[in-house]
């Protein structure tokens, strides 16, 4: 079921991307070629990030590294590798990056909102025990040792899914504010939706990390929160740069 959810999220993204690209008169061959490399690189990056995070386990079970059916896809790995692949592809094809990146910024939170439900079926991404009615049952074998006697936990996957959906709806509103063009939201320039996504998701993930039970830390620092801060700063810088009086921003 995990694989089906991920596949479904990709299919939905491709469907919406084709519709939005057509609306913007973007080359469909460039779109599908780019999405192939973005998706492939994103899957590799997501798995690699997860494997490195849980290396103590995978070093003893190397055959499971390529077994995606058991779950284990880290979104930050997908974002880093996917965005890098997309930018390289656009450069190779000599495309104006700002003509395309808003598609990614708009569709990423939608794909994430759907993909997070894979965590539900695998009983992953849960927080501390809770007595709230929407708490999710976690089987004993997947509970942290210190919480073995608890049955229901905060469904962090649900919280993040809903927040990603809200972010998508906000970005869709920005995208469509001026007759569905990329020159939108009171004159925001092309590329602004992408950087709004970086800042928005960075904030979501930063605060979500406080609720996680298995946060990856290096030298006592939460790696996901460090990446989140970098995303927020990159988003703010990108928006300011694009919408400054610098005429070279669109290039």
DSSP lists the bridge partners of residue 184 as 188
Predicted TM-score (pTM) of this structure: 0.87
**Cα dist. 122→74, 75, 117, 126 in Å?**
14, 16, 9, 11
pLDDT tens series, the chain, 251 aa: 878 898 899 999 999 999 888 888 889 999 999 999 999 999 999 999 989 988 888 888 888 888 877 667 889 999 999 999 999 999 999 998 988 999 999 999 999 999 999 888 888 889 999 999 999 999 999 898 899 999 999 999 999 999 999 999 999 888 877 434 455 545 678 888 999 999 999 999 999 999 988 788 887 889 999 999 999 999 999 989 887 855 454 44
Q: Binding site, residues?
A: 116
Q: What are the sequence ranges of the domains in the chain?
A: 2-242
Residue 116: DSSP 8-state: T
Handedness of CA 215, 204, 190, 17 (dihedral sign): positive
């Amino acid at each position: 079921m995990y694989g089906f959810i991920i596949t479904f999220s990709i299919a939905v993204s491709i469907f919406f991307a084709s519709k939005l690209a057509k609306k913007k008169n973007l080359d469909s061959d460039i779109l599908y070629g780019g999405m192939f490399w973005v998706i492939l690189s994103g899957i590799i990056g997501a798995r690699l990030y997860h494997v490195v995070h849980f290396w103590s386990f995978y070093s003893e079970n190397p055959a499971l590294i390529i077994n995606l059916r058991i779950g284990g896809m880290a979104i930050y790995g997908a974002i880093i590798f996917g965005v890098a692949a997309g930018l390289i592809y656009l450069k190779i094809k000599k495309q104006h990056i700002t003509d395309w990146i808003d598609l990614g910024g708009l569709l990423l939170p939608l794909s994430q909102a759907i993909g997070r439900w894979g965590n539900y079926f695998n009983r992953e991404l849960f927080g501390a025990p809770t007595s709230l009615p929407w708490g999710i049952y976690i089987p004993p074998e997947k509970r942290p040792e210190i919480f073995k006697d608890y049955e229901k936990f905060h469904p962090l996957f649900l919280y993040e899914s809903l927040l990603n959906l809200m972010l998508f709806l906000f970005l869709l509103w920005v995208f469509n504010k001026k007759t569905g063009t990329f020159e939108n939201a009171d004159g925001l320039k092309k590329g602004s939706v992408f950087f709004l996504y970086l800042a928005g998701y960075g904030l979501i993930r930063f605060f979500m990390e406080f609720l996680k039970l298995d946060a990856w830390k290096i030298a006592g620092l939460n790696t996901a929160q460090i990446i989140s801060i970098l995303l927020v700063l990159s988003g703010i810088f990108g928006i300011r740069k694009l919408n400054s009086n610098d005429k070279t921003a669109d290039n």
